[in-house]
Amino acid sequence: MNHDYEISVPIAELQASQTEEITKYKWFESQRLGADIGWTRAADEWFEKHFADWVREQRRLIDEALSMTDESLGATSDEESRELQSV
């Protein structure tokens, strides 16, 4: 099993999500100010103003996904247990 692949895909998704949020921030702030604020300024401001909330949201999404996985694994285990008991 390639553990590097398993780790790199979620990290890439997180990086893409973060980049997308910074890009949105850059666009909105540039529109608000009437001039392009540039990537560096947008990233710096986004990290200062929004990073903590973004991290909390990512953790919530991860926890939600894990609980759904746990529930589906539990359901499978219960079904398998009932099948084994009926044999």
Report pTM.
0.67
Compute the distance between CA of residue 87 and CA of residue 15 in angstroms, rounded to an integer.
Answer: 49
pLDDT tens for 4-32 read 555 566 888 889 999 999 999 999 999 99
Contacts of 42 (CB under 8 A, 6+ apart): 22, 23, 25, 26, 29, 30
Compute the distance between CA of residue 78 and CA of residue 13 in angstroms, rounded to an integer.
Answer: 33
pLDDT tens for 36-59 read 999 999 999 999 999 999 999 999
